[in-house]
Amino acid sequence: MTPTLSDCQQQAKQLALQFRLGKNTQAALDMAKMVSQLISLFPTAEPANVKQLQQILGQCLACQQRQDWLAIADYLEYELQDFLQQFC
């Protein structure tokens, strides 16, 4: 079954909680799967929307490199949710 944007929103909320609870390793692995699913859902999106998604995911990656798990949780719970909401 192909994931939907609503599925990705739910996954992002769950990942944010995992990061906040200190389950960083599993959350990072699950986040990679979610990002792959998100990218597959936006192949024909407007360039501005793709750019905005890239910026959010880029910030998540930067936070991950700094091991700033709470910041990743914030991006997943707020920034990504706000972005995806406009398509649901």
Q: pLDDT (tens digit, 0 to 9) for every residue of the chain, 88 residues total?
A: 778 889 999 999 999 999 999 999 999 999 999 999 988 887 777 889 989 999 999 999 999 999 999 999 999 999 999 999 988 7
49 Cβ contact partners less than 8 Å away, ≥ 6 residues apart:
42
Res 87: pLDDT: 81
**Which tokens sit at 58?**
């880029």
One-letter amino acid at 22 equals: G
Q: Rounded distance, CA 88 to CA 82, Å? A: 10
For residue 76, the 8-state DSSP code is: I
Q: What is the pTM of this model?
A: 0.89
Choose among 79, 72, 77: nearest CA to 22: 72
Sign of the CA dihedral running 31, 37, 40, 46: negative
